[in-house]
Chains A and B, each alone.
Chain A
Amino acid sequence: MSESEEQVRARLERVVAPLRHKPGPLLEVLHAVQHEFGYVPSTVVAPLAEMLNLSRAEVHGVLSFYHHFRHSPPGKHVLQLCRAEACQSMGARALATHVQQSTGLDWHQTSGDGLLSLEPVFCLGNCACAPALMLDGELHGRVSAERVDELLASLVSLS
């Protein structure tokens, strides 16, 4: 059952309270909201604007500007594949094609069973160990197609 508006508002207030006194807090607040809900639901825009004394347009503008903030719930696991130049020099394009074909997911998509989200990322700072990916916040370097298959298989067996 989905939460009532009051319940969402209570969670929001708890998240915002320790941050609202900070100078220029909106980005910090959105990070905290995403941490709490897994994404930033569009329904929080109006209450956030009210709590932070901003306009809804300002909150929406910031939320939609940054790639990091999700607008829908992510899968149980999030796979971020690096698409930047250093990884491309070591076969990241072919690796991305392999992952897209084997999972059936395009960028920013989540599998039907909610297990996996595929996201592009532009540099993980692991450029001397390319190609790189991050799976649920864990960095992996020198990743081959076989290694990705192993990592993905381990997710299936865990779930």
Chain B
Amino acid sequence: MSTPVTIYIPRDAAALSLGAEAVAKAVAKAASASGNAVRIVRNGSRGLFWLEPLVEVVTSAGRIAYGPVLPADVPDLFSAGFLQGAAHRLRLGDITQLPYLARQQRLTFARVGVIDPISIEEYVAHQGYQGLRRALELAPVAIVKEVTDSGLRGRGGAAFPTGIKWQTVHDQKAAQKYICCNADEGDSGTFSDRMLMEGDPLTLIEGMTIAGLAVGATQGYIYLRAEYPHAHRTLLEAIAAARQAGYLGADLLGSGRSFELEVRVGAGAYICGEETSMLESLEGRRGEVRVRPPLPAIKGLFAQPTVVNNVITLGTVPVILRDGATAYRDFGQARSRGTLPLQLAGNVRHGGLIERAFDLTVRELIEEYGGGTASGRPVRAVQIGGPLGAYLPVSQLDTPLEYEALAAAGGLLGHGGVVVFDDTVDMLQMARYAMEFCALESCGKCTPCRIGSTRGTEVIDRISQGIDREGNIALLEDLCNTMFNGSLCGLGGMTPYPVRSALKHFGNDFRRRPAGRTH
């Protein structure tokens, strides 16, 4: 029997949502029917979602991609000779040469969609665990210094310098410290955490292990949202593989140092993406926000010094340790160093994952990568940074996707999610939704968030009914001001971003004649 042909078919949840499982079955069936030996590898997604399910065949001329492949296309692909990379209407050639991928700087996502996510062998063959090996040779302060010098800022949304947080935890004296990974990716329009956990979970595991060595923590927790069952399965498989190979456990690579890791699953509370609420939840309590200080770095999980970082932040640490702080720092602009995996979503033709060095404007992202709206209608609004991010009008689309520039434009970059809306969007409805979502997800601890969000939906309903419209618009502004200044955390404090930006840039939507009224 001849050497089996290797075929990559993603196990990423988005690819599965478009039929990748059925495609994998069809390929296996067609191969056995035609007497061809194949080895099907279930990789992550390359992040070009209009081409999913994307199938790649390893040929003598390299990896040849076909997509989007439906199960019904499989017999035709076999008869066309796709096992040899032959021509076909779905043939894309070398996917890395497509401008969408070729014009990215993939550091954090270098292996996603390329390797088998749970294979230690493939991970190591693609420069995995080099960062950990280097970290094991460094003093803890030297590891922290690498991260500080790299300029890495928290990718969860707050953009706090990672090295400073680590230094604080490092400097605490405690018998037990913790590394907590915030994988409660609840922001609509974001999926980079999910893609990384499903496509290259070992980089997250390696990053957490390095963080443990840096600050003196021997236990890590990944707090994963319940809505991500696929990521959960992949993480558990990857953790088991890492433990088996000596990359986790009591004696890391024979160094005598230890690090253990456990996945804890959330329970459908958006607020648990807030770090102190996440810690409460990890301790098995209601996800109510804690008053700071003390910071989690000083008194975090079980009242011990704790590093809380996002998936992308921790998943980027291995490449920083491997290539050095300077190499990472050389990417990026001003105070936004390195790269950010942007997620382009919503009403857009070519949605996906775009990792760039903070060097794109919103317009470039939507037009050059996204190819415009999916509906073909004009863009009207773009929400950046999740449900708590501002809506930008078309006149602001030339804003660079960079922390300070977006803040100056009245928005925030957050976790890098960009959601496009066409001209059919009703911005009063979106503002109301923001308040409704806040009311639903508020932990209830502080009044501006708990009560303000409910009052907010009521005021917006009165505006839409045309009741004392200008008076109620003024009241809404005032309410936003109270929530912004008086809330305990970002949920109540930032819900005013989408509401105020909708009011400011799309004021006409709040001043239309209500349905059913003739005067």
Residues in B lying within 8 Å of A, measured CB to CB = 13-14, 16-18, 49, 52, 185-191, 193-194, 226-230, 264-270, 281-288, 302, 343-348, 351-352, 374, 383, 387, 417, 419-422, 425, 430, 433, 437, 440-441, 443
Contact present for B419 and A86 (CB under 8 Å): yes
Contact present for B230 and A85 (CB under 8 Å): no
Contacts A25-B284, A126-B191 known; A89 to B421 CB distance under 8 Å? yes
Task: Given A24-B285, A62-B285, output 5 extra A-B contacts at Cβ < 8 Å.
Answer: A24-B302, A86-B419, A90-B374, A127-B345, A127-B351
20 contacts between A and B (CB under 8 A): A24-B285, A27-B281, A28-B264, A29-B284, A65-B288, A67-B267, A69-B267, A88-B430, A89-B347, A89-B425, A90-B346, A90-B347, A123-B190, A123-B227, A125-B228, A127-B345, A128-B14, A137-B229, A139-B13, A141-B18
A69 shortest CB reach to chain B, Å = 6
A87 at the interface (CB under 8 A from B): yes
Contacts A125-B191, A126-B14, A129-B14 known; A67 to B269 CB distance under 8 Å? yes
Contact present for B229 and A129 (CB under 8 Å): no
Contacts A122-B270, A125-B13, A140-B17 known; A85 to B343 CB distance under 8 Å? no
Query: In whole angstroms, what is the CA distance A139 to B418 when docked?
Result: 21
Give the tally of cross-chain contacts (CB within 8 A). Answer: 150
Contacts A24-B284, A62-B286, A90-B347 known; A127 to B267 CB distance under 8 Å? no
B198 shortest CB reach to chain A, Å = 9
Contacts of A123 in B (CB 8 A): 185-188, 190, 227
Query: In whole angstroms, what is the CA distance A125 to B45 when docked?
Result: 13
A65 shortest CB reach to chain B, Å = 4
Query: In whole angstroms, what is the CA distance A130 to B422 when docked?
Result: 14
A30 at the interface (CB under 8 A from B): yes
Contact present for A128 and B267 (CB under 8 Å): no
List residues of A (134-151) whose CB comes within 8 Å of B's CBs. Answer: 134, 137-142
B205 shortest CB reach to chain A, Å = 20
Contact present for B269 and A66 (CB under 8 Å): yes
B interface footprint on A79-123 (CB within 8 Å = 1, 0 otherwise): 000001111111000000000000000000000000000000111
Query: In whole angstroms, what is the CA distance A73 to B193 when docked?
Result: 32
- Closest-by-CB residue of A relative to B13 is A139
